[in-house]
Homo-oligomer: A and B are copies of this chain.
Amino acid sequence: MQNQNISHSPDQWSIIENDFNSDYIGKCEVIMALGNGYMGIRSTPEEKYLTETRNWFVSGTFNKAHDTEVTELPNIPDVIQMTLEINGRRFTLDEGQVKSYTRSLDLKTGELVRNILWHTDETGDLDIEFHRLVSSHDLHLVAQEIRIKPLEKDCQIKVVSGINGQVTNSGAQHFVEGSKRFYDKKVMHMNQVTTESDIEVFINVMHRIVLDDQRLDHDTLIMMDRRKIFGHMSFSTSVGSQVSITKFSNVGTTRDLEFVDMDRESIKKELLNRIEGYWDKSFQEVLEASGLALKDKLWDQARVEIDSSVSFDQVAARFAMYHLYGMMPAHDKRMGIGAKGLSGEGYKGHSFWDTEVFMFPYFLYTRPELARQLLEYRYLTLPGARKKAYENGFEGAQFPWESAWLEDGEVTPVWGAADIVTGKSTKIWSGFIEQHISADIAFAIYQYYNVTGDEAFMEDFGYEMLFETAKFWASRLEDGQDGLLHINNVIGPDEYKEHVDDNAFTNYLVDLNFELSISFAKKVRDENPKLYKDFDKKLGLDSWISVWEEKRRKIFLPRPNQDRVIPQDSTYLTKEIIDLTKYKNQEHVGSLFHDYNLTQVNNMQVSKQADIMMLFYLREDLFSREVKLANWEYYEPKTLHDSSLSLSTHAIIANDIGNKDLAYELYTRCREIDLGQNMKSSDHGIHAASLGGMLQVVLNGFGGLRILNGKLRIEPNIPNTWKSLTYDFHWQGDTLRVEVSQTEFVISNMTKNNDMVEFSYKGNDYLLREKTTVLLDKVSK
């Protein structure tokens, strides 16, 4: 892989860009983005490029740029940009001679490094390094360091660096122009307030310049412009010397939980004090503290070790874990995870079903307290979900398709890209009729309870969400002429089919939602009468149980037809079948829309992503292998995988139905969504759900970690290219380790909080005390 542009280090800890091309700058801006859950920064170079995108987001700071727009995470004023002028020559990789170049992100330490040997007539050969990190130790801190070593000519260096508040979200300005100040000839400061949500953001930057270990007492000429404060610093260095320019920046906001009881002036002062605390610190010290914190918070908590002949397999797992860490607001349960994490403007920082169905399982098995937190976030949005249900004429709680700040309710935008036939913007229906998310959340609660047995969570948060979503579905079902109950006019997971009736995935998940509500309601009634009474008082629970039972008996659940194919919805199988060769495996997704508009696509048998396959994954016990196989053969050829949520699910199902090679191929394609050689695919931000999905392929697919009817089942089946897979996971208070080879797997209890752990393998039940070895049954199912 070393001859390709995106490669990795021999220790499988760093991803590396080997060649810089400003036409494809978005790729590494995103896949090398830095984050710590509190903030995320796109890895845009210090020097400016025409094609660049600068993004710096702080979790939860949602704002509506205007009444007519939906709320989004605003870009806060940029600090990353730094302009270097060396002997009168502006540094840019688009000019001069780039004699060598690498950029790498060390996933272990979170350090981003560029190593460049640059030559121009004016400067001679120059060794330039750029270092950068977002601290995992001090969540508010960003550190940068530029190291310049002239190899041939003495250099006069000018650095222009500061804070640029002229940034927007693709033209939408979220901030009122605030104030700026240069404090004590040391710290540049800017504070700005969001236009609608009234969140104040405070940003400070401070520079130190060191020449061969000697700190320079440099003069800074301060320039203020509209929404800008920049300092000009000049100094010189000679051949054989090294000069380093360190920039420390911090940010804090009035939304931050830690500042929630402080007045604005005090927050500002606190952040100023904190940045001044770095006055005598070196970049190296800051890096070490951050690396230790990252080890503590991530790498010591989760283990996914892959010994594969394709070394990218291990790198990809670490890559996914690193980014999921960076986007998870572990510091504040009032915030969810955005569909692009904190790495891009795409999807505006909103949370979708992506969280519960794609990312949640990874957190659940490795950091159950974070999985709990994600569900608590949903609990805190219940008032908005109740309001949405009420406004649509339903009962209970209807979770928004897109969710942002707690009180925001539904935040899905209404208008999308151009319709190629009419020339108008396309209406986005998801916010109105993509309703399965309420059942997806119920499913996640069930999963959480199965894995953790956390009764306190259920009592405080889980039951209420289960009951409220069940109430919503009960009121949502429609009477059909067949005497059954139907869910008409929805969008299922496959978003190329709008306004369909009886989407199989949706109906089956709703059925489960009822099942769970009924059984848990009865459990509470039997085991905790006081709580039951409280729920009855608050939600009318007693009378709902029989309603749910009645509805569940009558809900229409599509069955396999004579060819064993389950209709994805009531009309899918009747639609036109077209030749999709042109659109399958395209470099860019959505190529179908160059030829057809959504109305036309709606009338063809073509799917964006897994739909029935997703059903097979979440409710695997309901369908036979033969049915799964028949549906695979029917639907996969009609699926364009235009959603990044598609491949990981297909990989797991391919493994389930025994097609191991196909599973690995699909896994590889899934891995390449962000880490592949397509240099455009990540421009709008990282594919967070795909990262979660990829880890599910490893753990729950190849690693065989599944729950069936509340019971642990471990049926590993690793790819032929893998020598072994080792992973730790959380189960009912214990950490279990599974080491899988091609012939056996060993399962060990690392914590032994429970005397005994039960699990099954291929129909046989096992009891684990300390360590158990299971020989793999290599006969194909």
Interface residues of A (CB under 8 A from B): 23, 48-50, 65-66, 68-69, 90, 94-95, 165-173, 176-177, 179-185, 195, 221-229, 417-418, 420, 423-425, 594
Contacts and interface: CB of A to CB of B under 8 A. Distances in A.
A295 to B, nearest CB: 39
Contacts of A225: 170, 417
Given A66-B195, A95-B94, A171 B177 contact: yes
B168 A177 contact: no
B425 A180 contact: yes
Given A68-B176, A173-B173, A225-B417, 6 more contacts: A68-B177, A172-B173, A172-B226, A181-B424, A184-B423, A222-B423
Nearest to A23: B90
Given A50-B49, A90-B23, A227 B181 contact: no
A191 to B, nearest CB: 13
A227 B170 contact: yes
Nearest to A420: B222
Contact of A185 (B168, B183, B423): B423
Contacts of A418: 180, 182, 222-224, 229
A420 B220 CA distance: 10
B171 A66 contact: no
A52 to B, nearest CB: 9
Contacts of A90: 23
26 contacts: A23-B90, A48-B50, A65-B173, A65-B177, A66-B177, A94-B94, A94-B95, A165-B171, A166-B170, A168-B171, A170-B225, A171-B173, A171-B177, A172-B177, A172-B226, A179-B425, A180-B418, A180-B425, A181-B423, A181-B424, A183-B423, A184-B423, A222-B423, A223-B417, A224-B418, A224-B425
Contacts of A195: 66
Nearest to A174: B173
Given A49-B50, A69-B177, A182-B418, A227 B94 contact: no
Contacts of A423: 181-185, 222
Contacts of A167: 171
B168 A173 contact: yes
Contacts of A180: 418, 425
Contacts of A171: 165-168, 173, 177, 226-227
**What 10 A-B pairs are tightest by C-beta distance, nearest first?**
A166-B171, A182-B423, A173-B173, A224-B418, A170-B226, A171-B227, A66-B176, A222-B418, A48-B50, A224-B417
Contacts of A69: 177
A773 to B, nearest CB: 56
B168 A166 contact: yes
Nearest to A224: B418
Contacts of A226: 169-172
A65 B222 CA distance: 26
Nearest to A95: B94
Instruction: Tell which of A90, A170, A195, A221 has the most Cβ of chain B within 10 Å.
Output: A170
Nearest to A47: B50
A11 to B, nearest CB: 37
A529 B666 CA distance: 96
A275 to B, nearest CB: 15
A346 to B, nearest CB: 11
A66 B66 CA distance: 12
A100 to B, nearest CB: 21
A762 to B, nearest CB: 51
Contacts of A420: 221-222
Contacts of A184: 423
A418 B190 CA distance: 13
A20 to B, nearest CB: 14
Nearest to A221: B594
A90 to B, nearest CB: 7
Contacts of A165: 171
A224 B422 CA distance: 13
A228 B221 CA distance: 38
Nearest to A90: B23
Nearest to A165: B171
A223 B221 CA distance: 43
A660 B165 CA distance: 49
A195 B176 CA distance: 13
Contacts of A95: 94
A225 B50 CA distance: 18
Nearest to A52: B50
A172 B65 CA distance: 12
Contacts of A224: 417-418, 425
Nearest to A50: B48
A49 B176 CA distance: 27
Contacts of A170: 166, 225-228
Nearest to A94: B94
Contacts of A185: 423
Contacts of A181: 423-425
Nearest to A418: B224
Contacts of A169: 226
A181 B69 CA distance: 18
A31 to B, nearest CB: 22
Nearest to A594: B221
A771 B111 CA distance: 84
A185 B423 CA distance: 8
A350 to B, nearest CB: 15
A177 B414 CA distance: 13
Instruction: Tell which of A66, A169, A183, A223 has the most Cβ of chain B within 10 Å.
Output: A66
A65 B66 CA distance: 12
A680 B351 CA distance: 47
